[in-house]
Amino acid sequence: MRVLIVDDEHLARAVLREYLAAQAGVEIVGECANGFEAVKAIAELRPDLVFLDIQMPRLDGFEVVELAGAGAHYVFVTAYDQFALRAFEVHALDYLLKPFSRARLEQALAHARARLQAPPAQQGQAQEGQALAAVAAEARARHVPLERILIRDGARVQVVPVAQVDYIEAEDDYIAVCAGGRRWLKSQRLAELEAQLDPSAFLRVHRSYIVNLGAIARIEPTGKDGHCALLASGARVPISRSGYQKLREAMR
């Protein structure tokens, strides 16, 4: 079993390395101290199993899963709250709650071996990856609002601070994130992103648009009962009738 260790704490990686070294049939193919290193390592090393911390700088464990996808199985190694852990218990392969014992690690490895040795049709790897992404979005929504949006730009990953976003537009199966005069496409549903944003700062003013309230310079009429938001950047965002009512209430 090819294993990758991802944790920003040196001591935590050392403990995992020590425990895993005592396990037969386990090869540690790499260690990563942050999420960006992890995404790159998962793509290049193709581990069978990733021991993944959640709270890390640059990219957290949820964002690593979002970017790396279902190419590997994941065991979360975390001190996260019990509510989220119950969700992981159902959807993720396994989790280790810090501090964990050797026996608990062996249990997680046994679970992983059983999954990896199952016929491909029974592994449900794609479904598992989708479940992990759903859990990531759900857990994030339950806690603090989203602070950054990750967007693949070729081989690179753009990290767009949410505070810099002017508006977001739905485009077929994508969303267009508009910030600082630039526009990035991301494969995500508008409703999914809406649930992750701070509702006091962002408002869905149209079926296809979410706007940063702080970016609005003024509201202008556009024909009978129509309105649009003129942003400080000069962009114009259409406002539906129901969106206008919500906007009036939000800006009181």
The confidence band for 134, taking pLDDT boundaries of 50, 70 and 90, is: low
Between residues 85 and 32, the one the model is more confident about:
32
Is it the case that residue 219 has pLDDT exceeding 70? yes
> Domain check: are 73 and 6 in the same one?
yes
> Do 134 and 11 have their domain in common?
yes
CA nearest to 6, candidates 36, 39, 31, 28: 31
Are residues 224 and 152 part of one domain? yes
Residues 6+ apart with CB under 8 A from 145: 162, 196, 197, 198, 201
Kindly state whether residues 159 and 105 are assigned to the same domain: no
Residues 132 and 158 in one domain: no
Distance CA 105, CA 212 (A): 45
Q: Are residues 57 and 169 in the same domain?
A: no
Task: Indicate if 60 and 164 belong to the same structural domain.
Answer: no
What the block records as the tokens of 32 is: 């990563």
Lowest mean pLDDT among 83-97, 107-121, 198-212: 83-97
Average pLDDT over residues 197-201: 93
DSSP symbols for 35-51: HHHHHHHHHHH--SEEE
Check residue 83 and give its pLDDT: 43
Residue where a domain stops, chosen among 120, 142, 164: 142
CATH number reported for the structural domain that contains residue 195 in this entry: 2.40.50.1020
Same domain for 135 and 181, yes or no, is no
Distances (CA, A) of 97 to 52, 53, 54, 134, 137: 12, 10, 11, 21, 20
Domain boundary among 142, 164, 191: 142
Q: 45 with 130, same domain?
A: yes
Position of tokens 């942003």?
231
pLDDT tier, 90 (very low <50, low <70, confident <90, very high otherwise): very low
**Number of structural domains, the chain?**
2
